Structure 1
């Protein structure tokens, strides 16, 4: 049960750090707040910050590709909707 508690605490600390770093706060200033508040060591906080920095960089790198993929899916959905809205246009009239 002790590991579960640690996991919850670490997760909360990581989410809080993520929000504050994205808000523009500096890690050095956050150390004074985080160490006593979450009961973690400076080494743990530095590790957490390094991991978050990597995650943020990865997301930013992937962002352009994800946007392009979403735009392609939207264009395809619009095409399907046009076909659904006007089904007669998509079929030939074979009545003779």
Structure 2
């Protein structure tokens, strides 16, 4: 059976999530910074609805902190989450090395 690529339709919210995720991961804006749906929409030429949906998705993913009627901020780094991920990463590396040595 041969698999072919399927072209998926991307929504404005999908595009906004991609832009925002990339910006957050490259520290533009910095953790703790306030960001505005209206400013993001104007900057990228999108309407506010897809940007709002992107904010909600990124809040659910733990990248933004939405405080209704106050502000939306980029989440700060969690030292506990970083330590947990380092532990998991190290465990995976040890298993990969173990398998490589024994095969």
After TM superposition, the score normalised by the length of structure 2 is 0.46
Which structure would you say has the larger RCO, counting Cα contacts within 8 Å and 6 or more residues apart? Answer: 2
Greater fraction helix? 1
**Larger % of strand: which?**
2
| TM-score between both structures, scaled by the size of structure 1 | 0.48
Structure exhibiting the larger radius of gyration computed from Cα positions:
1
